[in-house]
Every structure is written in C-alpha cells, then in structure tokens.
Amino acid sequence: MNFSFLRPLRTGAALLLLVPLASTSSVTNWADRGPAKTSPIAKVPTASPLQGAKPDPAVIAQFGLYNNATLQRLIDAKGKQMTAVSDRPGDYGFTVVDSPVINAFATPDGHVYFTRGIMAYFNDEAQFAGVLGHELGHITAQHGKKQQTRGTIAGIGMILGSVLAPRVMQSVGGVAQQVVGLGMLKYSRNDENEADALGVKYSTKIGYDASHMADFFQTLQRTEAQSGAGGIPTFLSSHPNSADRYTRVKSLAAQAKQSAGRSTFAVNRDQYLRSIEGLNYGEDPRQGFVESGVFYHPDLKFRFPIPSGWKSQNSPDKFQMGEPNGKALLVFLGAGNGSLDDAAQGLAKAIGVQSANAQKTTINGFPALVFEGDQVQQDQSGQQAAGAHVLAQLIQDGQSVYAFVGLAAPADFSTYAPQFQRAAQGYARLSDASKLNRQPEHIRIKTATSATTLASALAANGIPSKRYEEMAILNGMQTNTQLAKGTLFKVVGK
C-alpha cells in the first residue's frame, strides 16, 4: 500500500467491478477443447491477433509495478522471443508486478504478469522460461475465455475472498468490490496439461532445457508444504496431481529435445542469479505491515489498530480487513487530497451510498467527516436493491484524506459498527523509530569460497539455523546439498 496517487478515489481500480486472474469476452469453441491428441506437444490453431501489450491499470492498481529494469528487460526479451514461435499471433505484453506472492498469471487479452515473489524462487533462466511458456500457453489456447473478466487477477494472494460470506460479498460495491469472488482461476486438468505442454514447446523452441520447469514445480510444492497455506500458484493448481505432472513434464521435455534438431539447451543458472541480486524478498514493510494487531505504514507515517482476530490483506492502493466468518468488511484507502466534503461526495458515489447522513467531527484530533447509509445497487433484472449498510469515516491528515469504509449486512451492522469506529479512532501519526525504520529483506547472491554444504555456507553468511530450510527451498536445494567451490547461491538479508 503506497497511496502514491493520493488523488480522488479511482473507481476503476476496483478489480472485481468487472469480474478472478483474467480479462474475458465471450466463450469460444476452443473453451471445450481438451489437450491435443495428435502430438505430446500441444498445437494451437492460429486466430485473430491479441492486443495485450500494455498492462491492465486494474492489475497495476492491485499489485503495483516492480521497478527493476534488469528483470523487465529479461521478461520482455524472452516474451518477445516466445511470442515469435507461439501458435497465435499477437501484440503481447509482459510485466513484473510488486507482490511477494509466488505466482504468474495471464490475461486473455495477451498480457503475462510475473510477481517479484516468483522471480525470487527461480534458480535459472530455464525455469523462468518454462513458466513463461506455460502462461503464454494459457493465452494462445484461449483457456481464460472460459472465465469472466479480471476476477482472478484480484484473487492472487488474497485472503478475504475465502472469508467473506456470500451475503456480504454480494452486497459490497464500488471501491470495496474487489474482494468479491476472489477464488483463484481454476483451469481444468486438460487446460493445465495443455499449458504445461505448450510451456515445454515454447521454451524448447527458444533454446532452453524445459525439464527445469518440472524442477520448479517441486520448489513450489515445498513452499506450500512449509507454509501450510493454500496460496499455490495457478500453474500448480490442484487439478493435475503434482507428482504425475512432474513426471509428465520431464517426459515432454525429453521428447522435445529429441525433435528440436539441436544438441545443447540453455539453463543459464549463474546469469539468472546475478540478475536478481537485490530483489525485494517477502513483504515490503515500507508499504505497510501488521504487527501485534496494528497496521503500520512507515513511508506515510501513520498507524491504526485492526479489529481483533480479523483477516487482513495489504495492496498498493488499499488495506482490507475481514471478519473471520465473513459478516463484515473494513477497507482503508486514500480518498484524495482535497476537502473532506469533496472526498466524501466522491466516496459516497463510488460505493453507491445515497442519501447518506453526513456530519463533520474530529477523530483522535484530526478533522473528520462521517457518513452512514445503505448501498443501492441493481439486481439482475436491473431493479434497484439494497446492499450492505455502510459506515464511512474520513480523516484529514495534512493534505491527505484517508477513509475507513465499514460494510456489513443491515441486520449485522450494529454488531460491527463499534469495531469500525475503534479502528478509525485509533488512527494516529507514527513516531516509533523501530517501526519507521523497518526495511525490506533482499535477495543477496553469494559465492561458495570452498567445497561445502548449503547449510554450512548459510551459517558462514550469518543466516540463523531456523531459516535454513526456507533458504534451501529458495535455492531449490536441500540443506545438505554439496556446493562446489565457486557455486553461486542465494541468501536473504537487509
């Protein structure tokens, strides 16, 4: 959450106003195709060009751009190479976004997004190219045409989609609507297998050893097992069995090599590792972090409490909090840099609250404006229908206006209103130096100075033993993996 815009609310940033990872139009005949049966390497018929060269503003609003010229050049170069050998022409685009979640995804208009999180976990260019080919395969095979527009984009790494009950989700509108229906895009078994085959095909065509794509599957399985979480990337969805998938991709890669008409295939391990030197690792506390039930923002210098036990999710333009049983939602966001009146009017319009009862007040010493009312939205027949009951609390902090937007079903609103109020009343300037000075961790590339094990190399670089397994997964190794002198490996540090 960086609020770099700090201008009037952008309703276009509400990702689910359109609909979870994709842009859609209509269902096509391709939607019902299974994987190609005539060849182990899938073939895709050509069709009309796709025009996804520019990143979707809604995706950037959700994740933010990751400004790293080296990585952007890499994804642009390999993406263009791969587009040239793909089965479907188009003006494709490729973007690295600023999210710690380990993922890659594609929109059907022809744009591929990689998070900085997944870039950290690749250990060579061949792994990167295989996943790039997989995501491009979803586009060329038109798998996303089965889905509604953009909804899955918002689903990446989001927590609230799984905790908001339908009655609140159905009533949330406007700025908060991006938390509606945040399930990951679930491709079918055939779709995933076909994208795997296309990933092998495309990465082999541009000269990479596609078997490394299968190796990366194992790395991601280990990250999931270590975290105990279900935030497994789209291309590792639960449809195909992961062990079977590993074996299948290894087999496809071997066949692709045999028919490629060449004897050597690139891996480029050291080259890739050097390209990610300094990459941000994990959450970036400069954009906000949660600690002991409080949300801190070092760059914008504020803090406020989170309702006890609630789930939370930070993104570049908002911070969301959800009641665990899905009965209430509280969203904190920038509402502009003008007057409180102007900000309140824009916000009320954006979230569909009419005839709001507004009053000026102060909140913890800050000029404030509070309004309350019911959302008005259209049902499927086009008739107006009541939505959630809303409490919006706007705070003027210097030139900036921030808003706490609380939503709950009308019958539950009185239960959660006090929690909405406590969060806003706890808003304060941040002065604690230990929070203000919090810095992100970065990937650091080290060189083994002698033959050693990974664990010994980590110890020699000051990594605590409790993080050995984490670092082993990050390196695609085991803690007892033997490193030859001169071997590059990753560590993490400030």
pLDDT band at 275 (very low <50, low <70, confident <90, very high): very high
Q: What's the one-letter identity of residue 243?
A: A
Provide the token pair at 11.
């309703």
pLDDT band at 414 (very low <50, low <70, confident <90, very high): very high
The model carries a pTM of: 0.74
> What gap in Å lies between CA 451 and CA 475, rounded to an integer?
17
Judged against a pLDDT cut of 80, whether residue 224 lies above it is answered with: no
Judged against a pLDDT cut of 70, whether residue 11 lies above it is answered with: no
> What gap in Å lies between CA 398 and CA 393, rounded to an integer?
16
pLDDT top residue among 345 and 245 = 345
Task: Please give the biggest Cα pair distance in the chain.
Answer: 75
Closest CA to 349 of 388, 375, 329: 375
Closest CA to 418 of 282, 263, 300, 308: 308
Identify the pLDDT of residue 49: 55
Identify the pLDDT of residue 191: 86
Instruction: Please give the CATH topology (third level) of the domain spanning 285-436.
Output: Protein Transport Mog1p; Chain A (3.40.1000)
Q: CB 442: neighbour CB atoms within 10 A?
A: 17
> What gap in Å lies between CA 195 and CA 136, rounded to an integer?
8
pLDDT top residue among 5 and 277 = 277
What residue segments make up the domains of the chain, in order of their start?
33-147+185-268, 285-436, 441-493
Radius of gyration, alpha carbons of the chain: 24
pLDDT band at 463 (very low <50, low <70, confident <90, very high): very high
Q: How far out from the chain centre does Cα 188 lie?
A: 21
The 3-state DSSP class for residue 179 equals helix
Region for 3 from its dihedrals, namely left if φ exceeds 0, alpha if ψ lies in -120 to 50, beta otherwise: left
pLDDT band at 302 (very low <50, low <70, confident <90, very high): very high
CA dihedral 288, 162, 240, 41 (to 10 degrees): -60
Work out the mean pLDDT of the chain and round it to a whole number.
80
Q: Find the range with the poorest average confidence among 156-160, 200-204, 239-243.
A: 156-160
DSSP 235-286: GG-SSS-HHHHHHHHHHHHHHHHHTTT-S--B--HHHHHHHTTT-EES--GG
